[in-house]
Amino acid sequence: MPLNDISDLKKYLRLVNYLGAAQLYLRANYLLEKKFVKDDVKRRVLGHWGTVPGLNLAYACSNILVRDHKLNAMFMAGPGHGAPAVLANLFVEGSLEEFYPDFTVNKKGVAKLIHDFSWPGGFPSHVNPSTPGGILEGGELGYSIATAYGTVLDNPDLLTICVVGDGEAETATLATSWHSNKFLNPQTSGAVLPILHLNNFKISGPTMLGSMDAHELLNLFTGYGYNPIIVNPENVEEDMVFAMEKAYEQIVSIQKAARENNYIDKPKWPMIIMRTLKGWTGPKSYQGKPIEGSFRAHGIPLPKTQTDDEQFEILKHWLESYKIDELFNKDGTIIDDVLNILPTKDLRMGLNKHANQQVESTLRLPHKDIYSIKIGPRGSKLASSMPILALYLRDVIKMNPDIFRIMSPDESESNKLQAIFESTTRAYVWPIPSGSENISKDGRMMEVLSENLLMGWMQGYVMTGRHSIFISYEAFMMIIASMVDQYSKFMAKAKEVPWRKPFPSLNFVLSSNSWRQDHNGFSHQNPGFISSALNNHSSNVNVFFPADANSLIATIEENLSSHDKINIVIAGKTDLPQYLSVDEAKIQGKSGIDIWEWAGHGSENPDVVFVASGDYMTFETLAAIKILREVAPEIKTRFVSISELTGFGIGDNFNKCNIDKDEFNKIFTPDKEIIYAYHGYPEDIKQLIFNHPASTRFHIHGYIEKGTTTTPFDMLVQNQCSRYNLAIDAVNFSEMNNTILKKQGRNHLNYFKALLGKHEIYIHEHGYDMPEVTEFTLD
């Protein structure tokens, strides 16, 4: 490498390190052109310094690599609060100005950059959707590596350079994400270059990886399957440039062997372990205690410069040490020596088309009618929804072999998705043990026992314009609830950024749900992911409860066609009655709610209104209506199906309100009691109806944390959701307005209570449900 490159690199680093520090501290005198006084310092100094110099070094050396090899490259900053570094580099390369014309690459733009950081209406201290080239908000509990690998899947020409903080590396998600290399096919996908930034400290203590010596680190990452390259603090600028070049040579070698010679054998992708001092180039110490190279550099190293004269003098010396006046021309532009390391404008990382949503593939979908079930008399035909979904997704893969992937935590067989393997396999690149089935390097099914890793892959895949669906056990989706919440926030903010284009939606299918986890027990009974998503209070979140297989296919078709949504679908995998044609399901899907006139008994003027969300709850409610028709025909009932919970939206606590007063009374009547059998926690519904005038008429049955290893029907009984519990409610509430029932009500109640008693005795004696349940049909 030419010596002048190192000289230019050091000047570049002086500039971006100054800009990083100045963003934290300065409110005026941005280039120190006047005497520096306390009034030049922000009253509220916000952000973090410790990671900034290392990120600047990684970004700068990436620029040289991209320049020399004309690469299509993204830069991903995993460490939290790394925005001052990313923004400084985006400013110098001109990417900020492309999206925000006021950030001109001169002294005027410098002033705006420094002033606006962590200022009301300005850039926050994390990379966020307003940051060009950013699709990951740093500090998201270790999502960087997984997201980076998601970006390069099926993107053969893309290199994603991902910096991982050593504090971030302690998270469970990140620790597992290193294994992504075993799923990356060098023939058809791009490459990730991880840079582990070791500066040894977290907020107030040492990092585990930072305390390991070189031998231990080499053993660890070699064991993970990488070829690690260590860069030490001495001569760090030149060594980092050479490390980047060496790593890229290895990437090219792996891809060439795979693409030209079809050779793939445990590819040892490179990764760089970059050691720098925490807060490198910052203040050395204060009152005898070290700052640079210690945890004290992590956040704001000098927090009291307004009131502490010694801290102010240290800050002054720190900022002046960069000799910023030497880095600008007389006309206020940046000197050529600094700009020499930049690639041409079309290759600058802040302008990367994949990161800035300038690439999206169109997903082709098969026609839903191909998979429709002819229902016959309503409720008479039985079918399992998940195998039908598998047929549909099998064909989605056939029609979109390069832009669609399925995420599944090793549960595809259990979730009855076998048909998918007629068009694809599980993806895996490392050697496949004998005895394996349906697995190859070209597979579209991503299976690994880490929901976090799958979520990260999907996030990177979708945010770079491709499409995906995540299918898992319901109970285990809580593992990624915080990841989905973070994504929802990113997406909400992205909508406020004019240049951000819509993302394909994140699509989730929750199967093997709580009501049929009687064999696995209490640990597998948890519908909390739904609650977590609803608590986000975002109009971007949709929660669907298709009542049967046709409804599921209609829902999935809508979801895969949507953008900027988090679609959550709950679908059972056991045989259940079928009620709606595909066209009827499509019509109901437009509103998410419908009266099934055929299901009620005296629906035009009911004594009670039954409501259900969820396939098991729908069946149980219709069973209650049928039994009431036979046992207590004097009770008139109406059935309302709510298939999209967010479409319900009638309360003050939800911002997607689809039902006005007149429509509500038309559906639920103005005055009758409403018995709601709900799939998840009753609190989900309570928040939707809070402060609604009819809220006191709702009587919600749902999962109330009553579970164990038991029979399927007993799960319903324990949670007071069985047909008999629903029928008891109907008898009690109908007595209010039905004079005939008042005479018979006690007999009816005794009848249903006797059945509940019989049930309890029967299951303890036989170990399975009684014939009244197992032999029950709706026809």
For residue 637, the domain's CATH number is 3.40.50.920
Q: How far is CA 86 from the centre of its chain?
A: 23
Residue % of the chain over a pLDDT of 90: 85
pLDDT at 347 over 70: yes
Backbone angles phi, psi at 541, to 5 degrees: -100, 125
3-state secondary structure 379-416: CCCEECHHHHHHHHHHHHHHHCCCCEEEEECCCCCCCC
Between 263-267, 606-610, 658-662, 719-723, the lowest mean confidence (pLDDT) is in: 658-662
Between 322-326, 336-340, 404-408, 490-494, the lowest mean confidence (pLDDT) is in: 490-494
pLDDT at 303 over 90: yes
Give domain status of residue 594, yes or no: no
SS3 content of the chain, % helix, strand, coil (to 5): 45, 15, 40
Check whether residue 110 and residue 230 sit in a common domain.
Answer: yes
- Sign (positive/negative) of CA torsion 110, 116, 118, 124? negative
Between 49-58, 386-395, 650-659, 694-703, the lowest mean confidence (pLDDT) is in: 650-659
Higher pLDDT, 430 or 202: 430
pLDDT at 649 over 70: no
Give domain status of residue 357, yes or no: no
User: Do 739 and 607 form a contact (C-beta atoms < 8 A)?
Assistant: no
Check whether residue 638 and residue 517 sit in a common domain.
Answer: no
pLDDT bucket at 139, cuts 50 / 70 / 90: low
Determine the pLDDT at residue 658: 63
Check whether residue 309 and residue 433 sit in a common domain.
Answer: no
Tell me the mean pLDDT in the region 348-354: 96
CA-to-CA dists, residue 303 to 41, 279, 371, 627, 655, angstroms: 11, 14, 64, 71, 40
pLDDT bucket at 652, cuts 50 / 70 / 90: very low
Give domain status of residue 670, yes or no: yes
Beta strand 637-642 pairing with 593-595 = antiparallel
Determine the pLDDT at residue 129: 93
Give me the CATH number covering residue 380: 3.40.50.970
pLDDT, mean over the chain: 93
Give domain status of residue 587, yes or no: no
State the Cα–Cα distance between residues 41 and 27, nearest whole angstrom. Answer: 5
Kindly report the number of other CB atoms within 10 A of residue 442's CB atom.
Answer: 13
Check whether residue 95 and residue 233 sit in a common domain.
Answer: yes
Check whether residue 381 and residue 339 sit in a common domain.
Answer: no
| Amino acid (one-letter) located at 220 | L
pLDDT at 655 over 60: no
Last residue of a domain, one of 320, 349, 378: 349
Check whether residue 380 and residue 264 sit in a common domain.
Answer: no
Give domain status of residue 236, yes or no: yes
- Highest mean pLDDT among 485-489, 623-627, 647-651, 658-662 belongs to 623-627
pLDDT bucket at 648, cuts 50 / 70 / 90: low
The SS3 call for residue 295 is helix
Tell me the mean pLDDT in the region 595-603: 94
pLDDT at 24 over 80: yes
Between 281-295, 384-398, 655-669, the lowest mean confidence (pLDDT) is in: 655-669
Tell me the mean pLDDT in the region 131-154: 91
CA-to-CA dists, residue 209 to 54, 59, 323, 507, angstroms: 16, 22, 34, 35
State the Cα–Cα distance between residues 569 and 666, nearest whole angstrom. Answer: 27
pLDDT bucket at 651, cuts 50 / 70 / 90: very low
pLDDT at 378 over 50: yes
Tell me the mean pLDDT in the region 433-450: 95
Tell me the mean pLDDT in the region 20-38: 96
542-585, pLDDT tens digit by residue? 999 999 999 999 999 999 999 999 999 999 999 999 999 999 99
pLDDT bucket at 606, cuts 50 / 70 / 90: very high
* Two structure tokens written together for 234: 């001495």
Determine the pLDDT at residue 182: 98
- Quote the domain boundaries for residue 623: 599-774
Check whether residue 340 and residue 386 sit in a common domain.
Answer: no
pLDDT bucket at 328, cuts 50 / 70 / 90: very high
Site of tokens 């979730």: 415
Check whether residue 377 and residue 249 sit in a common domain.
Answer: no
Give domain status of residue 442, yes or no: yes
pLDDT at 1 over 60: no
Higher pLDDT, 99 or 646: 99
191 DSSP β-pair partners: 159
Check whether residue 170 and residue 31 sit in a common domain.
Answer: yes
Give domain status of residue 361, yes or no: no
* Two structure tokens written together for 544: 């669907």
Check whether residue 194 and residue 295 sit in a common domain.
Answer: yes
Higher pLDDT, 443 or 540: 443
Give domain status of residue 354, yes or no: no
Last residue of a domain, one of 577, 610, 629: 577
Check whether residue 465 and residue 402 sit in a common domain.
Answer: yes
Check whether residue 343 and residue 374 sit in a common domain.
Answer: no
* Total of domains in the chain: 3
Tell me the mean pLDDT in the region 38-67: 96
pLDDT at 384 over 50: yes
State the Cα–Cα distance between residues 737 and 505, nearest whole angstrom. Answer: 47
Backbone angles phi, psi at 251, to 5 degrees: -60, -50
Between 88-102, 488-502, 597-611, 638-652, the lowest mean confidence (pLDDT) is in: 638-652
CA-to-CA dists, residue 317 to 36, 167, 320, 484, angstroms: 10, 29, 5, 44
